[in-house]
């Protein structure tokens, strides 16, 4: 399944700082272990949100991973406001053509 995710950054966090944590080996491994592949990501200044487009094997596995203390710690370190996270599933979505 393909999913669009967005999150606000806490005040004082910039996009470059978020990217540094998002691209860390720890975060990459955690996503890979949950079957989550990032297809694209970026910052929308107008909406003041980071957006990701992800492909996943099992949304429930990803949801469980997102609830772990490790994922919560990585999100906090990245400056992501977990309470602002929005997820839009695209059940019939397909990665690139």
Give the closest residue to 86 by CA, choosing from 8, 17, 13: 8
**pTM for the model:** 0.88
Q: Following DSSP, what letter does each residue of 18-78 receive, concatenated?
A: HHHHHTSHHHHHHHHHTTEEEEEEEEETTTTEEEEEEEES-HHHHHHHHTSHHHHHHHHHH
CATH, residue 62: 3.30.70.100
In a domain, 82, yes or no: yes
The domain total for the chain is: 1
In a domain, 47, yes or no: yes
pLDDT tens digit sequence for 40-91: 999 999 999 999 999 998 989 999 999 999 999 999 999 999 999 999 999 8
List own/partner pairs for 11-16 with CB under 8 A and 24 or more apart.
12/79, 13/78, 13/79, 13/80, 15/43, 15/50
pLDDT tens readout for residues 24-33: 999 999 999 9
């Amino acid at each position: 399944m393909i999913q669009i995710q967005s999150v606000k950054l806490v005040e004082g966090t910039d996009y470059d700082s978020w990217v540094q944590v998002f691209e860390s080996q720890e975060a990459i491994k955690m996503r890979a272990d949950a079957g989550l592949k990032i297809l694209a990501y970026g910052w929308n200044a107008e909406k003041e949100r980071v957006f990701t487009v992800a492909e996943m094997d099992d949304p429930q596995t990803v949801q469980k991973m997102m609830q772990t203390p490790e994922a919560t710690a990585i999100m906090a370190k990245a400056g992501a406001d977990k309470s602002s996270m929005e997820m839009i599933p695209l059940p019939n979505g397909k990665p690139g053509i």
